[in-house]
Structure 1
């Protein structure tokens, strides 16, 4: 069977993809704009969580999927349609890279996955330090400042490595726990 990784070129998804490949799994890397030939072992497929009609081809023949939560809370994808497409395709296991940073929106995604009947694992890291480059770049360039929703909070972004290692362990565990089909 095939493991589908949405965001396989991202900070965490690439480690999940590497873990699946290292465990001998067939990998389908999904992106809005896949880079063909980026990694020869990856089957690169174009699909978009915001466009559920693109999902059947990406999910066809797969039994597990790695998804990410909200990238932009102002533009959430329709998780009900994503979960329905995954269920219709025969996906049995979902790992969601959720977040404690956007709890209400990510909890909505988690609940839809729970209702779907698929097996699930939720990873809920805090803020990744690497994301601040995207969030703050414009304000630092133009205003020479950065803002925070909780300026008095004593917190800092974390490195993606611990979450990446956990996600990779999931990928390896998936391979050992699901029966192989010929």
Structure 2
């Protein structure tokens, strides 16, 4: 089976003990035509250069189930390709955040708790009604949880706005 869609979230690569050995896995969420699913990228695919906003075509995937959740899984025969596509508009509820040097990682309450990385300046523009825009930590502490809307494209997040 093959799938394609836009990467709307990704988790950090982790090492798990499976089939008697330590294996690397990275979970991503892909979306196509309003439907999304988790895709576990195993072994060498876990280190693929994939970013939120990329459009992927992944061949030779399997359907699996873990803790009553169905998901897709790469195999040794899978091929992961970034393909050209248009951006998609997305909504999410932000439940936590992590401030980096010039970006903020927002965590959504969607299935799998996906993370979205946004440039701090773009985030500040969405909160332009706040008094002290220099203290993004204080702003987010007051606002979380909040609903937002944005466009994901292959260059990352764009057109970020707060839904009131």
For the aligned pair, the TM-score class normalised by the smaller chain equals under 0.3
Q: Which has the higher contact order (CA 8 A, sep 6+)?
A: 1
Q: Where is the helix percentage greater, Structure 1 or Structure 2?
A: 1
TM-score of the superposed pair, with normalisation by structure 1 = 0.24
TM-score of the superposed pair, with normalisation by structure 2 = 0.26
Q: Where is the strand percentage greater, Structure 1 or Structure 2?
A: 2
